[in-house]
Structure 1
Amino acid sequence: MSERLEALANAGVSIWLDDLSRERIETGNLADLVKERAVVGVTTNPTIFASAIANGERYDEQVRKLVAAGEPVDRVIFDLTTEDVRNACDVLAPVAERTADDGRVSIEVEPDLANDTEGTIASAQALWAAVARPNALIKIPATKEGLPAITAAIAQGISVNVTLIFGEQRYREVMDAYLTGLELARDSGLDLGAIRSVASFFVSRVDSEIDARLDAIGTDEATALKGKAAVANARVAYAAFTEVLASDRWSVLAAAGANAQRPLWASTGVKNPDYSDTLYVTDLVVAGTVNTMPEKTLEAFADHGVVEGDQVTGKGEEARAVFDALAAVGIDFEDALVVLETEGVDKFKKSWTELVETVEGQMEKAGR
């Protein structure tokens, strides 16, 4: 076990891997990461699956069978990905039993449904039924149309990973959607203790967008603010989370057995080579949160990451001062959030197209 990752886990941060492949599962690599790298969860997306399927012969037999059965590409993707997530859930089942909150594996609804509430609900239901594991999480985007889908899924007892959250206001709407879903589930007589959720707050993309705007402004004051927006944004989000946890509304649900919707720091791979490659881990350490990392970031932290204690609690006002400074040099942060969400949904959809094209290529090979 890496001492640095163990220290991170001991600080109350749940370490999840932002990657999955059939090779990781079948070779025992995923199980090894649980034992040796303190990994207690997995997140996936269509790009991750496209890479796994394009580079892995372990999918070939299943693809051949599905092609022989005349299945269309969407069904092939559904079967390939749900099988991987189901098997990963089995690998992590002991973690789920031991920790209750962790041992989770996420799978996304079809990205083309990001602006389709009813379609998202149907996709979430189908994925939940197909994976058929209590430690699965269905990823739903935090678009305006996704919010009622989050409520509907939670109300039906489906555990959810809310993805593509960039700003405080939308995050508050996500938390409200979760609480509303729990209230509906309670009123329907469901066991609230069986429902889990995380809210994936994106980090590095915020710095990428804001830093580019600061560079365009070009003043010394603007340049001095580079690399500060993403962490400040996440700290403000955490302050909102603690505010909700202190509310009477949450107290009633908690008394009924509900679990908190933990903040999950996503997009934690550092894109700017001038910054520490563990920036979005070290600076966001706080107990009761999840940090999902690509393997490169995981290994970087195992090698030289530093845990300096809680870096988030009580820093909301300090973080808001960063926003004041950004506004003073001419940054329209709300406009940046709109751009980030729009680009996020677009990337979400493009990654699906990439997956479709990858699987179509594999199907053509299988049909020869």
Structure 2
Amino acid sequence: MSTPTEQLSAAGVSIWLDDLSRSRITSGNLAELIATRDVVGVTTNPSIFQAAIGGGAEAYTAQISELAASGASVDDAIFAATTDDVRDAADIFTPVFEKSGGVDGRVSIEVSPDLAHDTDATVAQAKELWSTVDRANVLIKIPATKAGLPAITQVIGEGISVNVTLIFSLERYAEVIDAYLAGLELAQANGHDLSRIQSVASFFVSRVDTEVDKRLAAIGTDEALGLKSLAGVANARLAYELYEQKFAEPRATALLAAGGTLQRPLWASTGVKDPALPDTLYVTELVAPGTVNTMPEKTLEATFDHGVVAGDTISGTYETAHKVFADLAAVGIDFADVTQLLEDEGVEKFIASWQDLKNTVREALNTAAVAR
């Protein structure tokens, strides 16, 4: 009997772990998840690094001491610690990367969240992260803000693989795909091998339900309450419909024929926030070929333990998904307002985590300096 994670992989879903820490790397835990849970990639974000470095200080003590001795700044120390972790994780995933022809075995690292509204600074740091990690299987995460869109194009145009993050609306997702295609065109003009450039578009799921359900509860009618916990999955399914449509258009097919790769949809924020919902909801209801699901470990273990994988659960659902949004509008949900709020909050949360990380590292550097 195959396991649910094996079944998920067989259905065309790449399982990525939404977490990374030095202790996962050095203890062998990451390698174990690759071997036993079918994990073929890792995503990180500022909140994950804050939890890793803030909660696992011992794993970083020696490096922090060395950095303190060299007079490193807080920003330099964070850059060194996080890029080292990502490089080491990328090395662990190298066999997966090679076996998958460069599609999987990917490790993501994000540009500083306080650059989310600065195109030029995002491009500069993306290039610095790419060259510093210096591994073909890294993905540079860039948020899908208005300032992030031209940065995505420029970075792809440099031949750098990109994970586009914080996507909530179909409208912004369409712009992300266009930014990717423009990047491939630029890369082609710059003489890059398009087949070596990979990209994923991270579409956030559970946060949509959290915000919409709060608004539906405030409306309080039977019609509104009957729509709870439907928006997140419906939104993601319509994203897959858009993906199928956009990559079948002549602009995309010409680039694919020239060696370009599909920008795969990635389901992010797949940990269930509402305890009344099945804990594998955002995994089993979003199964389709050529997708990625990045899961917190709790969701990964729930899926492995009792996930029911019933093949493709996206194709053929588009009419129902469109009706969900028609019904949400009918009861008074302004979904454009929901998604803009979620994007703004997403950037703000990552900035807050980044500031917490800076404070943690600052204290560690000061402690190490005093101990010398």
So what's the TM-score if we normalise by structure 1? 0.99
**1:26-47 CA distances to partner (integer Å, 9 max, x unpaired)?**
1111011000000000000111
CA RMSD of aligned residues (A): 1.0
Q: Indicate whether 1:94 and 2:87 are aligned.
A: no
Secondary structure at 1:313 match in 2: coil
Secondary structure at 1:169 match in 2: helix
**1:185-224 CA distances to partner (integer Å, 9 max, x unpaired)?**
0111110011010000000000000000000000111001
Post-superposition offset of 1:337: 1.0
Secondary structure at 1:352 match in 2: helix
Post-superposition offset of 1:364: 2.1
The 1-side partners of 2:93 and 2:181 are apart by 27
Q: What's the counterpart of residue 322 of structure 2?
A: 320
Q: What's the counterpart of residue 33 of structure 2?
A: 33
Q: What's the counterpart of residue 236 of structure 2?
A: 234
The 1-side partners of 2:189 and 2:115 are apart by 28
Alignment partner for residue 295 of structure 2, among 293, 296, 299?
293
Post-superposition offset of 1:2: 6.9
One-letter amino acid of the counterpart of residue 253, structure 2: S
Query: Any stretches of 5+ residues in structure 1 without a counterpart?
Result: none
The 1-side partners of 2:8 and 2:53 are apart by 32
Identity rate, percent: 61
Q: What's the counterpart of residue 63 of structure 1?
A: 64
The 1-side partners of 2:358 and 2:254 are apart by 44
**1:326-358 CA distances to partner (integer Å, 9 max, x unpaired)?**
011111111111111111111121111121112
One-letter amino acid of the counterpart of residue 222, structure 1: A
Q: After TM superposition, which residue ranges in structure 1, 4 or more long, deviate above 3 angstroms?
A: none
Query: Any stretches of 5+ residues in structure 2 without a counterpart?
Result: none
One-letter amino acid of the counterpart of residue 361, structure 1: E
One-letter amino acid of the counterpart of residue 103, structure 1: G
One-letter amino acid of the counterpart of residue 305, structure 1: G
**1:264-322 CA distances to partner (integer Å, 9 max, x unpaired)?**
00000000000000000010011100000000000011111110111112322221100
Q: What's the counterpart of residue 7 of structure 1?
A: 7
Contact 1:157 1:190 in 2 (8 A): yes
So what's the TM-score if we normalise by structure 2? 0.98
Contact 2:54 2:357 in 1 (8 A): no
The 1-side partners of 2:134 and 2:202 are apart by 22
The 2-side partners of 1:2 and 1:344 are apart by 37
The 2-side partners of 1:146 and 1:316 are apart by 29
Identify the range of structure 1 (205-214 vs 248-257) with the bigger mean alpha-carbon deviation.
248-257
The count of corresponding residues between Structure 1 and Structure 2 is 368
- CA 116–2 in structure 1, closer or farther in 2 if over 3 Å, else same: farther
The 2-side partners of 1:50 and 1:164 are apart by 18
Q: What's the counterpart of residue 255 of structure 1?
A: 257
Identify the range of structure 1 (212-221 vs 315-324) with the bigger mean alpha-carbon deviation.
315-324
**1:99-151 CA distances to partner (integer Å, 9 max, x unpaired)?**
12100000000100000000000110110010000000000000000000000
Contact 1:262 1:288 in 2 (8 A): yes
Contact 1:209 1:336 in 2 (8 A): yes
Secondary structure at 1:265 match in 2: strand
Q: Indicate whether 1:147 and 2:149 are aligned.
A: yes
Secondary structure at 2:294 match in 1: strand
The 1-side partners of 2:52 and 2:341 are apart by 29
The 1-side partners of 2:86 and 2:164 are apart by 17
The 2-side partners of 1:28 and 1:143 are apart by 36
- CA 115–276 in structure 1, closer or farther in 2 if over 3 Å, else same: same
Matches of residues 17-166 of structure 1 in structure 2 within 5 Å? 17-56=17-56, 57-100=58-101, 101-166=103-168
Q: What's the counterpart of residue 219 of structure 1?
A: 221
